């Protein structure tokens, strides 16, 4: 999955020296991919509301001696980083967990530089077989949604 994600970041033209916001970064897998692309003159801020996930993410940056990542524990519905402007804002598997993704995207867009880009990588479940025919699948899907 990370190779597809990396291609996606390159396709939306994330590049060396950029300042990027990774929303719903979890344990930092995506944040580290971005850190590699933007390089030492770039910067990535990863945001997640789950402290435990961020603790794991912090451990990885220490282990891999990554100097261009900062993690912030915050809820996307209540972000207080107004003074920051980003070249790119990205997220992977986050929109489906937000109660009002449209309004979150609108809020996040205020943090973009004028020429900035925003890109989200989400599962496309529109081609799934009708959920009603798979009650167990639907039940497990709801459990995962609640858990995250």
Judged by the rule CB under 6 A, the positions of this chain that interact with ligand SAM are 24-26, 29-30, 48-50, 53, 75-77, 92-94, 97-98, 148
How far is 130 from 109, CA to CA, in rounded Å?
Answer: 34
In the complex, least distance from residue 80 CB atom to ligand SAM, rounded to whole angstroms: 13
| The pair of three-digit structure tokens given for residue 47, joined into one six-digit string | 């945001």
Residue 80 and residue 74 in contact, taking contact as beta carbons nearer than 8 Å: yes
Residue 57 and residue 35 in contact, taking contact as beta carbons nearer than 8 Å: no
Nearest residue (CB) to ligand SAM, 26 versus 42: 26
In the complex, least distance from residue 78 CB atom to ligand SAM, rounded to whole angstroms: 8
In the complex, least distance from residue 1 CB atom to ligand SAM, rounded to whole angstroms: 8
In the complex, least distance from residue 98 CB atom to ligand SAM, rounded to whole angstroms: 6
Nearest residue (CB) to ligand SAM, 48 versus 87: 48
**Phi, psi of 45, deg, nearest 5:** -110, 125
| Sign, CA torsion 91/125/103/10 | positive
Closest residue to ligand SAM in the complex (CB): 26
């Amino acid at each position: 999955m990370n190779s597809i994600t990396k291609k996606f970041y390159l396709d939306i033209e994330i590049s060396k020296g950029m300042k990027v916001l990774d929303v719903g970064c979890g344990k930092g897998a995506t944040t580290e991919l971005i850190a590699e692309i933007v390089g030492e003159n770039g910067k990535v801020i990863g945001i997640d509301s789950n402290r435990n996930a961020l603790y794991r993410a912090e451990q990885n940056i220490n282990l891999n001696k990554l100097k261009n990542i900062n993690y912030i524990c915050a809820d996307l519905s209540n972000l207080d980083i107004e003074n920051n402007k980003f070249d790119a804002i990205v997220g992977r598997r986050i929109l489906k967990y937000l109660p009002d993704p449209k309004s979150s995207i609108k809020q996040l867009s205020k943090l973009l530089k004028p020429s900035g880009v925003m890109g989200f990588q989400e599962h496309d479940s529109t081609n799934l077989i009708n959920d009603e025919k798979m009650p167990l699948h639907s039940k497990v899907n709801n459990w995962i949604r609640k858990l995250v």
